Amino acid sequence: MLEKQEADRNAEMSQRERRAQEFMNKMADNVLQKMESKQKQEDEMLRRYEADKENRQRALEDRRARKAKEEQEKMRQFLAQQVREKELREKNDKDNI
């Protein structure tokens, strides 16, 4: 009878230890899943930030290129106007001679 009680008590202790270990493993898995989820969120936020930064940089470069092209066109028009004015002055000078 005592041996059976001792065996039952040992079996109960083993079951308790097994359940406690299972509980600890489940908690550890939950912590790892939460950490992975948090890491995925941070990675996604970083990816979006980098994409936005790249888009802003590209837009800035586009604006700068467009402005440079506009300035170049203005300069071309200005120089063309000066050439026309010079030709007109030379023509007027020839006509006046």
**Interval 27-86: pLDDT, tens:** 999 999 999 999 999 999 999 999 999 999 999 999 999 999 999 999 999 999 999 999
Using DSSP, state whether 97 is helix, strand or coil.
coil
What is the pLDDT at residue 96? 79
**Whole-number Å distance between alpha carbons of 64 and 37:** 40
Helix spans in 1-97 (H):
2-96
**To which residue do tokens 């009878």 refer?**
1
Distance CA 41, CA 34 (A): 10
Q: Which two tokens stand for residue 29?
A: 């898995």
Report which residue type is found at 69. Answer: K
Q: What pLDDT score does 95 carry? A: 81
